[in-house]
Amino acid sequence: MIRGVGVDIISVERVFRWIERYDHATLGLIFTIGELERCGSSDQPAKCFSMCFATKEAVAKALGTNMYGISWNQIDVELKAWSPRIILKGKALSASHNRKIVKWNATASSSRDYITVFVVAETE
């Protein structure tokens, strides 16, 4: 049964400017250590960081929290063949359990300029 749905679209150029402008520590306020390592070593870092950020936003919308009380680093995104896999920690995981969410599905679409991520949170 579907418990929540979230969608986000982001400009790859906008994220490219973030990674050009901000240092590793500042980016670490939004991205997990794993995301920084994976995206930083990607052949398309701006696209990778964009997909992670859009997925985090879509997860927050599906949770119904809009990031209230949840740190960006509590939503970790792993990309397998450019398909997002969601791993929750801390308060994000607690919010998921409180809403009885047992499964996360995510799909992404990209163009040269934009990334769109669609997330569905499911209960049993």
**pLDDT single digits (tens) 78-104:** 999 889 999 999 999 999 999 999 999
Cα–Cα dist 97/101, whole Å:
6
DSSP category for residue 66: T
Q: Give Rg (Cα) of the chain.
A: 14
Higher pLDDT, 69 or 106: 106
pLDDT of residue 114: 98
pLDDT above 90: percentage of residues in the chain: 91
| Whole-angstrom distance, CA of residue 124 vs CA of residue 122 | 7
Cβ–Cβ under 8 Å, residues 56 and 115? no
Domain ranges of the chain: 2-122
pLDDT in tens, 103-112: 999 999 999 8
Q: Is the pLDDT of residue 124 over 90?
A: no
pTM tops 0.85, yes or no: yes
CATH of domain 2-122: 3.90.470.20
108: Cα separation from own chain's centroid: 11
Rounded to an integer, what distance in angstroms lies between the CA atom of residue 35 and that of residue 52?
A: 8
